[in-house]
């Protein structure tokens, strides 16, 4: 087979152009000084070597943005995994939605966060994710309104653990803290270790897009009075986590969820609106408080026994969750574990709370 001289020259020229884009200087003897952009690209490939690395970088970004609540929705179809993270942090201006994925772009000019996963604040986290993902984008964000960021990864190019459903086993450390000691190093464990490390700073919720949407809809506090919602031109004016709660019906819920990177069917949206998909417990709560055995007593309906004192189901459930979080004080100091959610009973002139404990060996 013969190759035309002009084609060969073009090929050599293109190879030279590619090298010029990557090499700043040839030092001889097979050594080169790389251009900054090429060095950054190679470092980014090293920083994120599996999907779990991408998840921890997204969690750290949300934490550093001041988020108190972080929702992680993840699902896989074939080789593609979609991970969407919602938070109530400081947010990103619209004009920077694309630029935050460039190298060395950071909001932490005067601070660098050093934690158990290394240095954070170099402006390389989102760039590293973008370089290793099929796609990465800010779905929605604005200053003071939190953020929704979605990344799609390919398991054939960015590996992940085969078992993505198992939860780790947690044990007390000698200093009285908690640590994950057994279980695959999957996305679940990544979220668990982060939640344990940052338990005083933020709460993490992990589930499917539908579960995350149901949880944000049920638990996000709305900062706008119901009457004011009528005067909004768009729900996009609300903080990210409040939009799902403000959706008036299943059709609007599905639309708002899609805008945040949470894809679902209309049937699923109807199930969320009708309460058929229950809100998630936080990662920390699920990790440290094991569910009651199937043969144990039936869970009490928190809203059933109201009698003379009228308390809404939402308020009772929120109160139960608050009690469960506060119980961690005793749990850490005396190595206690709840066998089920705190049971709240509203009676005539009193409210009774029961904490059922796991039996000690």
Query: What confidence tens digit (pLDDT) does each residue in 266-280 have?
Result: 999 999 999 999 899
The predicted pLDDT at position 280 comes to: 93
Average pLDDT rounded to a whole number, residues 129-151: 95
The predicted pLDDT at position 312 comes to: 72
Average pLDDT rounded to a whole number, residues 97-113: 74
The predicted pLDDT at position 117 comes to: 73
Asked if 149 and 161 touch (Cβ cutoff 8 Å), the reply is no
Residue of higher predicted confidence among 201 and 119: 201
Mean pLDDT for the chain overall: 80
Distances (CA, A) of 258 to 82, 137, 219, 240, 251: 13, 13, 19, 12, 11
Residue of higher predicted confidence among 77 and 227: 77
**What is the per-residue pLDDT across 239-254, written as a single tens digit (0 to 9) for each?**
999 999 988 899 999 9
Residue ranges and CATH numbers for the domains of the chain are: 45-207 (3.30.565), 293-354 (no CATH)
Query: By C-alpha distance, which of 116, 111, 361, 65 is closest to 240?
Result: 65
Q: For the ranges 38-42, 98-102, 112-116, 164-168, which has the lowest average pLDDT?
A: 38-42
The predicted pLDDT at position 294 comes to: 44
Q: Binning pLDDT at 50, 70 and 90, where does residue 121 land?
A: low
The predicted pLDDT at position 150 comes to: 98
Q: Provide φ and ψ at 71, rounded to 5°.
A: -115, 125
245-254 — which CB contacts under 8 Å span 24+ positions?
245/216, 245/217, 245/218, 245/220, 246/222, 247/217, 249/273, 253/213, 253/217
Q: Is residue 119 scored above 80 in pLDDT?
A: no
Average pLDDT rounded to a whole number, residues 334-351: 78
Query: By C-alpha distance, which of 158, 128, 281 is closest to 215?
Result: 281
Share above pLDDT 70 across residues of the chain, in percent, rounded to a whole number: 72
**What is the per-residue pLDDT across 165-187, written as a single tens digit (0 to 9) for each?**
999 988 887 776 788 888 999 99
Query: By C-alpha distance, which of 217, 220, 205 is closest to 71?
Result: 205
The predicted pLDDT at position 292 comes to: 41
Q: Is residue 305 scored above 60 in pLDDT?
A: no
Q: Binning pLDDT at 50, 70 and 90, where does residue 351 land?
A: confident
Q: Binning pLDDT at 50, 70 and 90, where does residue 307 land?
A: very low
Q: Binning pLDDT at 50, 70 and 90, where does residue 288 land?
A: confident
Q: Is residue 33 scored above 90 in pLDDT?
A: no
DSSP 306: -
The predicted pLDDT at position 75 comes to: 95
Average pLDDT rounded to a whole number, residues 304-329: 69
Region of residue 193 (phi > 0: left; psi between -120 and 50: alpha; otherwise: beta): alpha
Q: Is residue 354 scored above 80 in pLDDT?
A: yes
**What is the per-residue pLDDT across 201-210, written as a single tens digit (0 to 9) for each?**
999 999 999 9
Q: Is residue 154 scored above 70 in pLDDT?
A: yes
The residues, ordered by sequence, that sit 6+ positions from 127 with a Cβ below 8 Å of its Cβ are 40, 44, 101, 102, 103, 104, 105
**What is the per-residue pLDDT across 321-342, written as a single tens digit (0 to 9) for each?**
778 778 877 877 777 777 777 8
């Amino acid at each position: 087979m013969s190759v035309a001289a002009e084609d060969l020259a073009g090929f050599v020229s293109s190879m030279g152009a590619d090298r010029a884009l990557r090499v700043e200087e040839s030092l001889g003897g097979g050594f080169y000084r790389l251009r900054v952009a090429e060095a950054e690209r190679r470092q980014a490939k090293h920083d994120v070597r599996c999907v779990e690395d991408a998840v921890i970088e997204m969690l750290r970004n949300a934490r550093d943005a001041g988020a108190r609540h972080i929702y992680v929705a993840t699902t896989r179809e074939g080789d593609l995994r979609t991970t969407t993270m919602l938070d109530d942090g400081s947010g990103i201006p619209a004009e920077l939605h694309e630029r935050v994925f460039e190298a060395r772009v950071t909001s932490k000019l005067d601070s660098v966060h050093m934690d158990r996963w290394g240095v954070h604040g170099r402006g390389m986290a989102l760039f590293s994710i973008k370089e290793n993902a099929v796609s990465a984008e800010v779905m929605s964000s604005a200053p003071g309104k939190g953020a929704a960021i979605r990344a799609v990864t390919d398991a054939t190019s960015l590996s992940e653990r085969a078992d993505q459903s198992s939860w780790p086993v947690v044990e007390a450390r000698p200093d009285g803290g908690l640590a994950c000691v057994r279980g695959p190093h999957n996305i679940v464990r990544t979220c668990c270790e982060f939640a344990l490390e940052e338990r005083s700073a933020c709460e993490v919720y992990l589930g499917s897009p539908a579960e995350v949407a149901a949880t944000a809809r049920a638990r996000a506090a709305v900062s706008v009075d119901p009457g004011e919602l009528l005067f909004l031109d768009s729900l996009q004016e609300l903080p990210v986590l409040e939009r799902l709660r403000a959706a008036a019906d299943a059709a609007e819920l599905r639309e708002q969820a899609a805008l945040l990177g949470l894809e679902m069917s209309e049937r699923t949206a109807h199930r969320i609106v009708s309460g058929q998909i229950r809100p998630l417990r936080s990662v920390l709560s699920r990790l440290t408080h094991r569910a009651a055995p199937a043969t144990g007593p039936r869970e009490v309906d928190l809203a059933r026994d109201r009698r003379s004192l009228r308390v809404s189901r939402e308020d009772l459930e929120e109160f139960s969750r608050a009690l469960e979080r506060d119980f961690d004080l005793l749990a850490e100091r005396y190595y206690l574990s709840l066998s089920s959610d705190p049971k709240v009973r509203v009676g005539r002139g009193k409210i009774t709370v029961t904490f059922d404990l796991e039996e000690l060996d």
